[in-house]
A and B are shown apart, each in its own frame.
Chain A
Amino acid sequence: MTLRVAAALAGLVACLALAPLSAQEGHPLKGSWLGTWKQNTVHGDDLILVLDWDGKAISGMINPGTDNIPIARGTLEPKGWVVTLEANAKDKAGATIHYVIEGHIENLELPNRSIVGTWRSERGKGAFEASRQ
């Protein structure tokens, strides 16, 4: 994890510790998520995920303010609450990395519900988990 990401994470965690967990009774993916994509040697293990829903498409960003990886495509299948997110990032050399995150929502009813699954790219793969903040 880079120092910038670590600083951003520390700042977010500090803010979230002070702010009460907001309810989210609308689209289940909407909101800020904090978690890990393990064994990610390019962008580090920790991640911040911000997702939105405009009625037609899921949009958002991974590590806003640091890596700024936009979500290129997102789907939510209500049967099993299966989530798929795709995003295109750049490594330090400017090469494109295509990420695919696949998982499902656990504890759908809770404000701090989780997405649990896996991530993969041309550079590796690993476990993915993020909880809504």
Chain B
Amino acid sequence: MSPAPRGSSARGALAAALALAATAALAHHEITAKFDDAKRTTLSGIVTDVDWRNPHAHLFINVAGDAGAVANWAIELESTITLTKSGWRFDTLKPGDRITVVGPIARDGTRQIWGESLTLAATGRKVLYALDTAPVAPAKPRPAPRGPDGHPRLGALDTEGGYWGYPTSSALEQDGAQVAMNAHGLLASSKDAARVAPFQPWALGLYQRRQERHLRDDPMFINCKPPGGVRYLQSEYGVQLVEDRERQRIFVLIGGGNHNYRIVYLDGRTNRGQVRGDDDNPLYYGRGTGRWEGDTLVVETTGFNEDFWFTNGGLPHTNLLHLTERFSRPDFETLHYEVTIDDPGAYTKPWSAHWDLRWVGGEELPVHFCQDNRS
């Protein structure tokens, strides 16, 4: 027998909203797509299994009901990467531990709960504290490193690791819109939808529909489709730029989604596919060619397919999408990114957005794989 949800008071709802706002910045998918923040519960039980793997770790606990029957609940947690950065280990909890968990339960009525708070009964110690913060910046900004050609290095020095993470914006909206939304692009008010971008009517309708459904149809979440377009640059798992000057290209290694890559060519070629290769097949990351304008790398990308969401939050796009991306490194710790979205298939005019990413030095990209049916 499942215990009845409780804690639906206004104060509880406010606390839930605040807690969700905090955790949404970390989770792989939009929590409210799967879990109903209006239905929250507290469960106490004994751990039966720990499933420590991407994209989300899970705990399973046996919960005794009022009539003595025992029900097994699944507790969904952050990714193992986020948990590890927050001090968790795979053996932080073990089968046999008695715990109390608080969080929203699954919308579909199955015995699943999002682990928002987790306490070890024996000691009262809170064991779930998922907090992943950006590295502390030095008091005095260091200058951006430069390569032999004088341009800023956008990746790590040859002898060091490093990647870009902790984007200052994780959901796309046009410059100046300042629409309230959470880290996954879920709007605080659906009335603001039309302000996010200059939509064509069908695109606005589709965007609103995705929002109304709490982004639960996100193909990156359901089918592990790649975070193409600009989405990978707003991922919590970062991006690594590997500059191959000899071959005049930049390999862009992507930490989120299905751990994919794109290539930006700097050798003057056009945005065409290979005659004996991908030819003109539309792609998830399109075809990008770059050039330097002073200290800014300007990348023109076209050739996208329509099989994915190109942003968090579900902004639609078509195969007419053309991105003009501008990468610069104003100091050692900062990658500044500006993008102009020109998609006459979905929007009434070109529009722009910008954000920064932080340098995570001395580390390689987190290994996070979204895998079919495990999201």
Contact = CB atoms under 8 A, between A and B. Distances in A.
Nearest to B348: A55
Interface in A61-92: 76, 78-79, 81
B225 to A, nearest CB: 7
Contacts of B309: 25
Contacts of B209: 108-109
B319 interface: yes
A55 B345 contact: yes
B117 to A, nearest CB: 32
Given A26-B306, A78-B204, A78-B205, A55 B219 contact: no
Contacts of A22: 307
Interface in B308-338: 308-309, 316-320
Nearest to B344: A55
A24 B307 contact: yes
A74 to B, nearest CB: 12
Interface in B199-224: 200-202, 204-206, 209, 213, 217, 219, 223
Contact of B306 (A25, A79, A81, A108): A25
B63 interface: no
Nearest to B310: A25
A53 B345 CA distance: 7
Contacts of B213: 109
A22 B200 CA distance: 24
Chain A binding surface, main DSSP class: loop
A25 to B, nearest CB: 5
B346 interface: yes
Given A53-B318, A55-B320, A109-B217, A26 B204 contact: no
Interface string B35-60: 00000000000000000000000000
Interface string B286-324: 000000000000000000001111000000111110000
Interface string B246-275: 000000000000000000000000000000
Contacts of A56: 344
Contact of A30 (B204, B225, B306, B308): B306
A27 B306 CA distance: 9
B219 A23 contact: yes
B244 to A, nearest CB: 32
A27 B317 CA distance: 8
A108 B204 CA distance: 14
B202 A24 contact: no
A54 interface: yes
A53 B346 CA distance: 10
Interface in A1-35: 22-28, 30
Contact of A78 (B206, B307, B308): B206
B23 to A, nearest CB: 25
5 contacts: A26-B317, A26-B319, A26-B345, A78-B202, A81-B205
Interface of B: 200-202, 204-206, 209, 213, 217, 219, 223, 225, 306-309, 316-320, 344-346
